[in-house]
Amino acid sequence: MEENLWWEDFLNSQETEDGFIITERSGILHDRDCFYADRIRHGNRTDMIRPSAGLRFCRYCQRKAAIRNGITDYGNYKIYEKYFDQNQVSTDLLIRLFVEKGAEATIFADGIHIVCGEDKWKLKWNCKKGRSILKHNNYVRSAAGSRYITKGYHEQRIRRNTVPEAICYIIAYDYEAYHGETN
Ligand SMILES: [Zn+2]
């Protein structure tokens, strides 16, 4: 009698567009499409990477796993990969954004839209001279120091107008820390 292992069904499934496999013994996390994943006979499946101190990534597939964890449109994976490669975004930075911060990215006509916490950002495809590559949702500040997010976006000035710099800005942004008490 032939018995299907859980991971065979999992790997053969074309319906699931996300997914990671954590090896049972070593606890190393692999992307579903990792070269090594079909050799794993004992492992746990997870749909989302949750940051934890003990989490270790497979070195072969960690970049792909980080990107997969953060994008809502997996069919566009190749576009993200090319964009992050061409703009020299490090794997560490992608892990910080898409795993530790839990940011979610989606591709639109004007750029990559990123939701991080309650804030929305855009990484613009085409950046005119003198304009910032990064846009941030508009908001108004109340007298009490809290804020309300409103319609539209404003240009977010960053020190160097590069994609890694923009991603660092998104990761570091914390409204309470920057505006809550002091302004
Ligand atoms: Zn792997």
Pick the CATH number of 1-70 from 3.30.2010, 3.40.10, 3.40.1710, 1.10.600: 3.40.10
- 32 CA to centre of ligand 1 in angstroms: 8
CB 69 within 8 A of CB 45: no
DSSP 8-class letter at 26: T
- 111 CA to centre of ligand 1 in angstroms: 29
- 166 CA to centre of ligand 1 in angstroms: 28
pTM: 0.84
Q: Which of 119, 124, 94, 120 is nearest to 108 (CA)?
A: 124
Look up tokens 């591709």; give the residue: 107
Q: Which of 124, 122, 59 is nearest to 92 (CA)?
A: 59
Residues, Cβ < 5 Å to ion ligand 1: 30, 34, 36, 58, 60-61
Look up tokens 């998104």; give the residue: 170
Q: Which tens digit of pLDDT belongs to each residue from 4-20?
A: 555 455 444 444 445 89
Q: Which tens digit of pLDDT belongs to each residue from 95-145?
A: 999 999 999 999 999 999 999 999 999 999 988 888 999 999 999 988 887
Domain residue spans in the chain? Answer: 1-70, 71-183
